[in-house]
Chains A and B, each alone.
Chain A
Amino acid sequence: MSHEYVPEIATDRDGKQHEVQGWQDDFYGGKLGFWLFMFTEVLMFGAMFMALSYYNTLHPQEFLDASASLNRLLGGINTVILLISALTMGLGLLKMRTGDVKGAKLMIWVTMLLAVAFLVIKGFEWRAEYHHGVFLMHDKLLADSSFPLGEKLFFGLYFTMTGLHGFHIIIGIGLMLWLLKRINAEKVRPDHHILHWNIALYWDIVHLIWVFVFPYYYMIGAGGATGGH
Chain B
Amino acid sequence: MDTNNIDYKKEQSRFFKVLIGLLLLTAVTFIQPHLFLTEANFAAQMFIAVLKAWLIIMYYMHLKGETLITWMAGFSLFIVFTFFAIVIGVDVQHFQFKDESHITESAIPLHEAGHESHSTHSAH
Contacts and interface: CB of A to CB of B under 8 A. Distances in A.
Consider the complex of A and B and state whether they touch directly, i.e. have CB atoms less than 8 Å apart.
Answer: yes
Interface of A: 27, 31-32, 35-36, 39, 42-43, 46-47, 49-50, 53-54, 57-59, 62, 72, 76, 79-80, 83-84, 86-87, 90-91, 94-95, 97-99, 144, 146-150, 190-193, 197, 201, 204-205, 207-208, 211-212, 214-216, 219-220, 222-224, 227-228
Contact of A215 (B39, B45, B110): B45
B110 A144 contact: yes
B107 A222 contact: no
Interface of B: 1, 3-4, 6, 8, 11-12, 15-16, 19, 22-23, 26, 29-30, 32-34, 38-42, 45-46, 48-49, 52-53, 56-57, 60-61, 68-69, 72-73, 76-77, 79-80, 83-84, 87-88, 92-93, 95, 103-108, 110, 123-124
Nearest to A205: B61
B48 A86 contact: no
Contacts of B79: 43
Nearest to B104: A58
A223 B41 contact: yes
Contact of B19 (A84, A193, A227): A84
Contacts of B29: 79, 214-215, 219
A91 B9 CA distance: 11
A207 B38 CA distance: 26
A183 to B, nearest CB: 16
Contacts of B77: 42
B1 to A, nearest CB: 6
Contacts of B30: 72, 76, 219, 222
Contacts of B68: 32
Given A97-B3, A97-B6, A50 B19 contact: no
B106 A190 contact: no
10 contacts: A84-B19, A91-B15, A95-B8, A192-B1, A204-B61, A207-B60, A211-B53, A219-B30, A220-B45, A228-B39
Contacts of A86: 56, 60
Nearest to B6: A97
A37 to B, nearest CB: 11
Contacts of B6: 94, 97-98
A144 B109 CA distance: 9
Given A57-B93, A211-B52, 13 more contacts: A43-B76, A49-B84, A50-B88, A84-B19, A87-B19, A97-B3, A98-B4, A146-B123, A147-B107, A205-B61, A215-B45, A227-B33, A228-B38
A84 B60 CA distance: 12
